[in-house]
Structure 1
Amino acid sequence: MKTMERRSTCPINFSVEIFGDKWMLLILRDLMFNGKNSFLEFRASAEKISSAVLTEKLNTLLEEGIVSKVVSPKNASSFLYLITDKGIELVPVMVEVLEWGSRYNPDGGPKPLLAQIRQNKKKAIAELQDKLRNERQSYVTATSN
């Protein structure tokens, strides 16, 4: 694993250097909230990330242990990016970003998820984290058979 050279030891700097740009947050959004996990699915997002930038960002997420890469059980020539436990720990942060964004952009955001969050944030986060773990496990099980 390649080690990223850090500008400082500040915890906020550490976090920002990993996922502090718009593309990383959008990839994390797609992994966590939109069920996307393939290169083509990420490319199909409304924001139109370039292939080169997407490759760079996915490699950073891999190097940092936020995602893992497995062969697709449906197509041996393609890969899936699965969120790791380290990445799943970011769900509460992403929920806060989602909530903040929806407060100031009321037309955006996944309405059912926002309703769950507003009803019981702690429960919604736990359920989302469990769902992500279960999805990852089902892919891992499918690829090991």
Structure 2
Amino acid sequence: MGEANEPRSECPINAAIEVFGDRWSLLVLRDIVFGDRRYFRELQANSIEGIASNILADRLKRLVQSGLLTRADTRPGQRARYSLTEPAIQLVPVFAQLGSWGLRHRPTSSALRVRAEVLEQGGPALWQEFMDELRRSHLGSESPARSPSVRERLNAAYLAATSSS
């Protein structure tokens, strides 16, 4: 048997699943991508699935080790800020496709399905625009901003859905 860090196979699907295919990693990334939650306490306090602190700490550590997040160096008493890396930003189309699949095949609430509907309707052009926004906020890229931003549109749709339900 190989070492713990060796992949089970060289299959691309296996390689992806080994990085973010556990029960919590994609949800942590989802909350950073769509909720702009960059700190441990924000991620834990606003987790609609109720992630335990030890699980969140473990997943953040794993996501940093796998190169999907960076963790800003901090001094004692400072909060660590997490940022998406380019490979994590490129998961936006995966999130959009997972959301589309969930809309069609799983029971969902009207409030929690609205972002997936906006992403599905916007298609690849919207996904690219959102990835560019994430690059600006997480990587400091200089691409031009559009108004309103995709995040603002997603949040407006979510707020409209939650106020009417």
TM-score higher than 0.5: yes
* Runs of 4+, deviation exceeding 6 Å: none
User: 2:109 pairs with 107, 110, 118, which one?
Assistant: 107
Q: Runs of 5+ in structure 1 lacking a partner? A: 139-145
Q: Which residue matches 2:136?
A: 134
TM-score for both structures, normalised by structure 1: 0.80
SS in 1 for 2:38: coil
Q: Which residue matches 2:123?
A: 121
The code of the aligned residue for 1:41 comes to: E
Alpha-carbon distance, 1:131 to partner: 1.4
Q: Which residue matches 2:151?
A: none
Alpha-carbon contact 2:86-2:135 (below 8 Å) kept:
yes
State the identity %: 33
TM-score for both structures, normalised by structure 2: 0.71
The code of the aligned residue for 1:102 comes to: L
Alpha-carbon distance, 1:116 to partner: 3.2
The C-alpha deviation readout for 1:16-75, integer Å capped at 9, x for no partner, is 111112201111110111111110111121211111111111111111111111158xxx
Q: Which residue matches 1:141?
A: none
Q: Which residue matches 1:142?
A: none
Q: Which residue matches 1:58?
A: 60
| Structure with larger Rg | 2
**Structure 1 residues 137, 53: CA separation in 2 closer, same or farther (over 3 Å shift)?**
same
Alpha-carbon distance, 1:102 to partner: 2.4
Alpha-carbon contact 2:71-2:82 (below 8 Å) kept:
yes
What is the root-mean-square deviation of aligned Cα atoms in Å?
2.2
Alpha-carbon contact 1:66-1:83 (below 8 Å) kept:
yes
**Structure 1 residues 20, 86: CA separation in 2 closer, same or farther (over 3 Å shift)?**
same
Q: Which residue matches 2:86?
A: 85
Alpha-carbon contact 1:71-1:78 (below 8 Å) kept:
no
The C-alpha deviation readout for 1:84-116, integer Å capped at 9, x for no partner, is 1011111111111112112333425352x3343
**Structure 1 residues 125, 6: CA separation in 2 closer, same or farther (over 3 Å shift)?**
same
SS in 2 for 1:5: coil
